[in-house]
Amino acid sequence: MKRTTLGKLQQAARENAVRLLYLDEAGFHGSPPVQRSWSPRGLPHEIEPNHHCRRSVIGALDFGANALIHAAHSGTVKGPDIVRFIDGVLAGRDGRPVVIVLDNASIHHAIDEATRERWLLEHNALLFYLPAYSPELNMIEIVWRHLKYRWRRFVTWTKETIDAELLGLLRGYGSDFQIDFS
């Protein structure tokens, strides 16, 4: 049922009749995951992790425009961050109805009824929750996968360089690479 509805919403977004946004969060770490390594015989494997070099990103894929809207945070993303992000995305109002697709994360369900009503009345926007355990329906998951693939060069970013690298990566969607969702 929801898959069929999403298909119709995607077609409406392609025809510019509705603004369809897929929203989710992702984490980017300064140290890439160690997949293999070596150490001298008889000595334990040692690696210095960079624990405090992490960024959380809230992103919205505008399906019709195939554009990525994003905001990076140095800490954990909380409910008020999601509300502020959606408020910012909705501020660029163009008159079309807006459908925001969300997964079932508790942070997404914590958006209060008054805020949802305000979005509906002021921006003609409503939230569309995906079924549980269905990341294949959330198109921004594909974008995150491609971004993280590009991020995974075996380099350890420092606190001083991670913000610039992440910003360059996120801004590259649309110019350096793009996903064809047709």
Query: If pLDDT is split at 50, 70 and 90, which confidence band does 94 have?
Result: confident
Q: 43 in a domain, yes or no?
A: no
Q: 44 in a domain, yes or no?
A: no
Distance CA 98, CA 90 (A): 8
What confidence tens digit (pLDDT) does each residue in 42-62 have?
A: 877 666 655 567 889 999 999
Q: 143 in a domain, yes or no?
A: yes
Stretch 116-136: mean pLDDT: 94
Q: How many C-beta atoms surround the C-beta of residue 127 within 10 A?
A: 18
Q: How many C-beta atoms surround the C-beta of residue 106 within 10 A?
A: 7
Alpha carbons within 13 A on the beta-carbon side of 39: 6
Q: 37 in a domain, yes or no?
A: no
Amino acid at 59: G
Q: Please tell me the total count of domains within the chain.
A: 1
Give, as one character, the DSSP assignment of residue 30.
Answer: S
Q: How far apart are the first and last CA of the chain?
A: 20
Show Cβ contacts of residue 54 under 8 Å, excluding neighbours closer than 6 positions: 27, 28, 29, 30, 74
Q: 99 in a domain, yes or no?
A: yes
The better pLDDT of the pair 181, 70 is held by: 70
Stretch 133-162: mean pLDDT: 82
To which H or E segment does residue 105 belong? Answer: none
Instruction: Give residue 85's domain range.
Output: 2-27+50-171
Q: 85 in a domain, yes or no?
A: yes
CATH number at residue 9: 3.30.420.10
Angle among Cα 83, 20, 124 to the nearest 5 degrees reads 60
**pLDDT at residue 97 in the model:** 97
Tokens of 31: 């140290």
Query: If pLDDT is split at 50, 70 and 90, which confidence band does 177 have?
Result: confident
**pLDDT at residue 48 in the model:** 60
Q: 102 in a domain, yes or no?
A: yes
**pLDDT at residue 150 in the model:** 77
Q: 32 in a domain, yes or no?
A: no
